[in-house]
């Protein structure tokens, strides 16, 4: 099953209801995604790091999550500075680096890291069931919430089915290669995986109907917003408004780059 590494962390963030944390993520991520001013994005990254510290997350685990993005960010830094039109700041042979390209790569890096840290702090510290409960409270369509829960619950079962099929193929002396026989075997494996997944889905649906399932999951815990939740949302809203005002240059901050 997918590991929920940060759920066991006890901190102030854990005292917030899932509804509060999910709404805070939506507000902050929207503002960060729409911001382009480095004087806004750098404080946003600092705020995200502060949230990680408040949540008591292991920085080594957080660093491993950030490493997953390293390939994407590396591609950005290898492409944008050399292809973005603008003032040339460095040139060698046929390659040239533009000032605007460097700014674009920096903005994307800051946005990506900031939003990932916020998601790790506020979303990964709750269970998938609590996240689904929060999404339902925010009036997200029930079918989408149900799809999230079912996908999370059974994706590892499909993986087990795939591993079973691969072991069966190896027992029959199957060796991966680039021959037509190998491609045909992989096609059969994929087809069998879909067939078994469909059969499993039918059995699960019948079992759920026998247990009185009516299209909605009910949470075993009751969540009620307290003053801490309203205070946290107010703080997030104030920061979001200040970031928006800085982006619109209503409030002037020292210009970077």
Q: What span, in angstroms and rounded, lies between the C-alpha atoms of 17 and 179? A: 55
Q: Which residues of the chain have pLDDT under 70?
A: 1-6, 8-9, 215-219, 251-257
Same domain, 19 and 69: yes
Are 128 and 148 in contact, with CB atoms under 8 Å apart?
yes
For 174, the token pair is 């199957």
CB atoms within 10 A of CB 31: 20
Same domain, 196 and 85: no
For residues 106 and 184, state if they share a domain.
no
As a whole number of angstroms, the distance between CA 83 and CA 97 comes to 8
For the chain, percent of residues with pLDDT exceeding 90: 28
Q: Quote the pLDDT of residue 257.
A: 46
Amino acid 1: pLDDT:
47
State whether 80 and 154 are in the same domain: no
38-83 tens-digit pLDDT? 888 999 999 999 999 888 888 888 888 888 888 889 999 989 888 8
SS3 category, 257? coil
Residue 3 covered by a domain: no
The answer to whether 48 and 113 are in contact (CB under 8 A) is yes
- Is residue 134 included in any domain, yes or no? no
Residue 4 lies in a domain: no
β-bridge partners, 92:
95
Are 110 and 233 contained in the same domain?
A: yes
* Region for 224 from its dihedrals, namely left if φ exceeds 0, alpha if ψ lies in -120 to 50, beta otherwise: beta
8 Å CB contact between 13 and 131: no
Tokens of 68: 């997953």
> How many domains is the chain partitioned into structurally?
2
The pLDDT of residue 176 is 84
Residues 20 and 57 in one domain: yes
Domain presence at residue 235? yes
Is there a single domain that holds both residue 121 and residue 149? no
Residue 195 is encoded by which pair of tokens?
Answer: 């067939």
Q: What is the pLDDT of residue 55?
A: 86
Largest CA distance in the chain: 71
Tallying the residues shown for the chain, one arrives at 257
Least Cα distance to 114 among 69, 74, 75, 81 occurs for 69
Is residue 118 within 8 Å of 44, Cβ to Cβ?
no
The pLDDT of residue 24 is 94
Q: Token pair of 14, please? A: 């854990």
Q: Please give the residue range of the domain that contains residue 163.
A: 141-210
161 domain residue, yes or no:
yes
Does 186 fall in a domain?
yes
Of 183, 109, 135, nearest in space to 25 by CA: 135
Q: What is the pLDDT of residue 2?
A: 52
Which token pair is 251? 């409030």
């Amino acid at each position: 099953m997918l590991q929920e590494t940060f759920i066991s962390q006890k901190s102030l963030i854990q005292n917030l209801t899932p509804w509060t944390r999910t709404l805070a993520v939506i507000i902050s991520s929207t503002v960060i995604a729409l911001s382009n001013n480095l004087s806004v994005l750098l404080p946003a990254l600092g705020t995200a790091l502060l949230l990680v510290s408040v949540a008591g997350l292991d920085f080594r685990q957080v660093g491993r999550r950030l490493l997953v993005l390293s390939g994407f960010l590396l591609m950005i830094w290898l492409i944008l500075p050399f292809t973005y039109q603008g003032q040339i700041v460095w040139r060698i042979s046929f390659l040239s680096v533009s000032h605007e390209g460097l700014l674009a790569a920096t903005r994307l890096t800051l946005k990506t890291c900031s939003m990932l840290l916020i998601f790790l702090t506020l979303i990964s510290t709750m269970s998938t069931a609590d996240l689904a409960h929060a999404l339902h409270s925010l009036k997200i369509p029930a079918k989408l919430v149900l799809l999230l829960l079912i996908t999370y619950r059974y994706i590892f079962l499909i993986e087990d089915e795939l591993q079973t099929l691969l072991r069966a193929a190896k027992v029959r002396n199957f060796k991966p290669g680039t021959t037509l026989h190998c491609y045909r075997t992989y096609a059969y494996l994929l087809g069998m995986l879909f067939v078994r997944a469909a059969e499993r889905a039918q059995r699960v649906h019948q079992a759920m109907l026998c247990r009185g399932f009516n299209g909605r999951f009910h949470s075993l815990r009751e969540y009620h917003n307290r003053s801490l939740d309203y205070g946290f949302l107010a703080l997030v809203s104030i920061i979001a408004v200040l970031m928006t005002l800085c982006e619109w240059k209503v409030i002037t901050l020292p210009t970077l780059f």
